[in-house]
Amino acid sequence: MSDYQVFLNGEFVPEDEAKISVFDHGFLYGDGCFEGIRAYEGNVFKLDEHLDRFYTSAKALDLTPPYEQAEMKDLVLEACRVNELEDAYIRPIYSRGVGDLGLDPRKCDEVTTVIIAREFPRLYGPELYEEGLSIATVSTRRNPPECLSPNIKSMNYLNNILGKIEANQLGVDEGLMLDTKGFVSEATADNFFIVDDGEVVTPPYHNSLRGITRQSAMDVAEREGLPVTEKPITQFDVYAADEAFMTGTAAEIAPIVEVDGREIGDGNPGEITKQLMDAFEKVTRTEGTPIYPKETVEA
Ligand SMILES: Cc1ncc(COP(=O)(O)O)c(C=O)c1O
């Protein structure tokens, strides 16, 4: 049993004591929202951006967080300190809380707050970052914004999980999801990019989650002097691309070398993709909110 401490409704408790009710609507209905955040070498990367998205997701669910955003920022840093972490994956969660067996959120008295902080390696195996991933288009379409906006990072991930199950059944490393019109949306837990004639291209975010790493990759690419475009892309565009990669907090930047049995480019991680992976790694090591204020380190 690990000795991680988890923040649960106002206090840090040992991981094995961090339990919530089976009547919590997060458990019963997936009613709640969350974030996935990383810290590198003692600094939390893009913390404000993640918390902005977390609080926007809560607002979209009409869920009133028990903590102000500034308080949550302190709690996220505290969750790293309590667990003596420098490199971490941090998962804040707000669920609707304990209610009855009906859906009505008005029956839930108190929002449940959880913050998990622990070590967590990159999402895919280390060899895949060297050799590149094989992915396949799955038949499950990304849920459209007119049904449930992919921009609510909700606790209901069944749409993505069905896509992941298909990818597993197909024996590939990841699933590529299309939107309901047949344009590329995103992978099951990452945003998707192609590189075409030196241009870095990603689909607009309305039919996918507006990823924080997606934005970082776009910023990094621009700083590297590469043209970056957000435009709809088709499966044909993917097959014809010179390079492809995915971005996400858990995955970071992951190269793709095969889609639907077609080699992308020459079947190796692309040069621009590798350039962006290096540049992104540098950014994660030089930016961020310090977990341990300097005085504490020097004391
Ligand atoms: C469905 C989905 N798309 C994309 C991403 C990547 O977003 P980010 O870079 O903010 O982690 C995630 C992960 O949070 C995700 O769950």
What CATH number is given to the structural domain containing 184? Answer: 3.20.10.10
Domain boundary, last residue among 98, 118, 138: 118
Residue 297 falls inside a structural domain: no
Kindly state whether residues 278 and 130 are assigned to the same domain: yes
pLDDT score of 297 more than 60: no
Residue 293 falls inside a structural domain: no
Tokens of 6: 């988890």
Kindly state whether residues 267 and 151 are assigned to the same domain: yes
* Distance between Cα 178 and ligand 1 center (Å): 15
d(CA 246, CA 243): 11
As a whole number, mean pLDDT of residues 252-280 equals 98
pLDDT at residue number 254: 98
d(CA 231, CA 74): 37
- Residues framing ligand 1 (Cβ under 6 A): 36, 160, 186, 189-191, 209, 211-214, 247-249
Residue 298 falls inside a structural domain: no
Kindly state whether residues 133 and 166 are assigned to the same domain: yes
Choice from 120, 122, 151, 213 to test ligand 1 binding pocket (greatest atom count within 8 A of CB): 213
Kindly state whether residues 47 and 145 are assigned to the same domain: no
pLDDT-derived band of residue 299, with 50, 70 and 90 as boundaries? low
Kindly state whether residues 251 and 205 are assigned to the same domain: yes
Kindly state whether residues 249 and 153 are assigned to the same domain: yes
* Distance between Cα 16 and ligand 1 center (Å): 27
pLDDT score of 296 more than 70: no
pLDDT at residue number 294: 80
Residue 290 falls inside a structural domain: no
* Distance between Cα 294 and ligand 1 center (Å): 31
Choice from 38, 57, 190, 252 to test ligand 1 binding pocket (greatest atom count within 8 A of CB): 190
Mean pLDDT of the chain: 97
Kindly state whether residues 75 and 135 are assigned to the same domain: no
Domain boundary, last residue among 118, 137, 167: 118
* Distance between Cα 15 and ligand 1 center (Å): 25
Residue 292 falls inside a structural domain: no
Kindly state whether residues 51 and 160 are assigned to the same domain: no
Ligand 1 atom index nearest CA of 186: 3
Q: What is the pLDDT of residues 265-275, one digit of tens each?
A: 999 999 999 99
Tokens of 273: 């993709």
Query: Residue 166's domain spans which residues?
Result: 126-285
Q: What is the pLDDT of residues 203-230, one digit of tens each?
A: 999 999 999 999 999 999 999 999 999 9
Which residue lies with its CA nearest to atom 15 of ligand 1? 189
Three-state SS letters, the chain: CCCCEEEECCEEEEHHHCCCCCCEHHHHHCCEEECCEEEECCEECCHHHHHHHHHHHHHHCCCCCCCCHHHHHHHHHHHHHHCCCCCEEEEEEEECCECCCCCCHHHCCCCEEEEEEECCCCCCCHHHHHHCEEEEECCCCCCCCCCCCCCCCECCCHHHHHHHHHHHHHCCCEEEEECCCCCEEEECCCEEEEEECCEEEECCHHHCCCCHHHHHHHHHHHHCCCCEEECCCCHHHHHHCCEEEEEECCCEEEEEEEECCEECCCCCCCHHHHHHHHHHHHHHHHCCEECCCHHHHHC
Kindly state whether residues 67 and 142 are assigned to the same domain: no
Q: What is the pLDDT of residues 45-96, one digit of tens each?
A: 999 999 999 999 999 999 999 999 999 999 999 999 999 999 999 999 999 9
Instruction: Using alpha carbons, list the distances in angstroms from residue 190 to 26, 69, 186, 209, 259.
Output: 23, 25, 6, 8, 15
Domain boundary, last residue among 118, 134, 152: 118
pTM reported for the whole predicted model: 0.96
pLDDT-derived band of residue 2, with 50, 70 and 90 as boundaries? confident
Residue 294 falls inside a structural domain: no
Kindly state whether residues 130 and 24 are assigned to the same domain: no
Kindly state whether residues 187 and 254 are assigned to the same domain: yes
pLDDT score of 288 more than 70: yes
Ligand 1 atom index nearest CA of 50: 10
Kindly state whether residues 23 and 112 are assigned to the same domain: yes
Residue 180 falls inside a structural domain: yes
Residue 299 falls inside a structural domain: no
Q: Which residues are catalytic?
A: 153
Q: How many domains does the chain have?
A: 2
d(CA 80, CA 90): 8
Looking at residue 105, which CATH number applies to its domain? Answer: 3.30.470.10
pLDDT score of 1 more than 60: no
Tell me which residue has tokens 């690990």: 2
Express as a percent the part of the chain with pLDDT over 90.
96
Sign, Cα dihedral of 223, 227, 233, 238: negative
Tell me which residue has tokens 């989650």: 209
pLDDT score of 116 more than 80: yes
